[in-house]
Amino acid sequence: MNKTNRLLAIKEIIQAKPIASQDELVIELHKRNFDVTQATLSRDLRELGVVRIHAEGGVRYALSVESEERKLKSLVGFEIMNVDCNEAMIVIRTLPGRAPGVASFIDSLHSPEILGTVAGDDTVLVLPSSTKKTQTVMTSIKKWMVARNA
């Protein structure tokens, strides 16, 4: 399992249930077939901008949305090799095996400009909500590619 998929899994777990400790998070990640050390998990939490908050029922981890999105965009940018489009669709070429993670990230943004994605092994088809949005979505994706070098 690659790092992007692990980061997305951490995000999903933290959003789905209250997690109060790294030990609890490791158990949940193991259930999803991620074998992660405490040191790696600490780095992942820091990279995602995860913070501990006081909530009803005690302390729990929460995502800092702005930090999380910025970091994941940078990671996704490393996996994207090329982006091309026609009037209606966008095709993203990724590193081998990385298309599902890239598509999952794009879907997780819940952008009103994107109807959805379809992923193969190294190709993602992005379907904009209308042909008028194709260039806007294309520009956003290309910014992720540039962000990886910043």
| Domain definitions of the chain by residue range | 3-63, 79-147
pLDDT at 74: 62
pLDDT at 150: 46
| Ordered alpha helix ranges (H), the chain | 3-16, 22-31, 38-48, 65-79, 99-108, 134-147
**pTM of the model as a whole:** 0.54
pLDDT at 24: 94
Say which CATH topology domain 79-147 has.
Answer: Gyrase A; domain 2 (3.30.1360)
pLDDT at 67: 55
Ranges of residues in the chain whose predicted pLDDT is under 70:
1, 64-75, 146-150
Angle at 41 between CA 143 and CA 35, to 5 degrees: 105
Q: What is the CATH code for 3-63? A: 1.10.10.10
